[in-house]
Amino acid sequence: MLNKIKKNINSLFDSMLNYLYKSLDKKMNEKWFNYPFGREPQASKEIYLNLAKQVRTKIYPEIDQYEKKVGYAIDMDWMHELALHTQVVKKESPLCYAHGRILYSSLSYYLNNNIQKSNNHRISILETGTARGFSSLCMAKALKDSNKSGAIITFDVLPHRTRMYWNCIDDHDGPKSRAELLEPWKDLVQRYIIFHQGNTRLEMPKVQAERIHFAFLDGTHTYEDVLFEFHQIQMRQQPGDMIVYDDYTPKKFPGIVRAVDQICEEYQYHRTELKAHGGRGYIVAEKE
């Protein structure tokens, strides 16, 4: 009888904790499910098309040289079409999606130089800051083009199947979920990408991958958060594995710069610094 009472009490306690957790989680994430980019399109189709036309003409010499050095470059027409729907937005800072080129080139180099030719070797890729899915798809294309098997686990506070306006040209078709926004690339999405919604401080520790071969960290841009995300990865990387950091820009994001400098020095990562323009820099870090 006593054991039965204890069992009932424990069951009730678990139910209360579960209810409390779900309520707290719903409250914390409520704003991300409620049109976080506004309840109407931010610009006309013509403005988005003009922005896309302008950014296509940008030249980034350092990234051109990097592609030549590693020997891999993304199909530019493919990337620009993807960017029109996922990167061309109305904002104050200059549009730039050169990180798609860096991710494709770096991952392609890694896949073709560090991974055995057998297609049975499946690699794990982790990303923070999914946004509309541009970076994930650039990495998925590298996997496909290299004929390699892998899974991209990508984290963001934005939900994947909730309809909203995204501040992009597709908004003129009405609210869409990210899943609907990426429908033209569903073959890559279904084959390679796992979308995970939630705060990385809560959700990343739940991922128990034995190895993280490649990562792209583009979540919250603070010193503490960059270090936190790195520490979820560091023990799961081996020599040759890579991490790409976005927005390595001293004047704009000093916290990122401080964290990345510390990581590369203390944890033995060889770094390659690249700039698209004065306000946008990147680090490709390879574990030594």
Structural domains of the chain, with CATH: 45-287 (3.40.50.150)
Local confidence band at 233 (pLDDT 50, 70, 90 cut-offs): very high
Is 50 exceeded by the pLDDT of residue 118?
no
pLDDT 10s digits, 248-262: 999 899 999 999 999
Local confidence band at 278 (pLDDT 50, 70, 90 cut-offs): confident
**Mean pLDDT, range 136-164, rounded to an integer:** 97
Angle, alpha carbons 164-151-240 (nearest 5°): 125
Is 60 exceeded by the pLDDT of residue 21?
no
Evaluate whether 288 touches 271 at the Cβ level (below 8 Å). no
* Structural tokens at position 163: 């309809």
pLDDT 10s digits, 169-203: 999 999 999 999 999 999 999 999 999 999 999 89
pTM of the model: 0.90
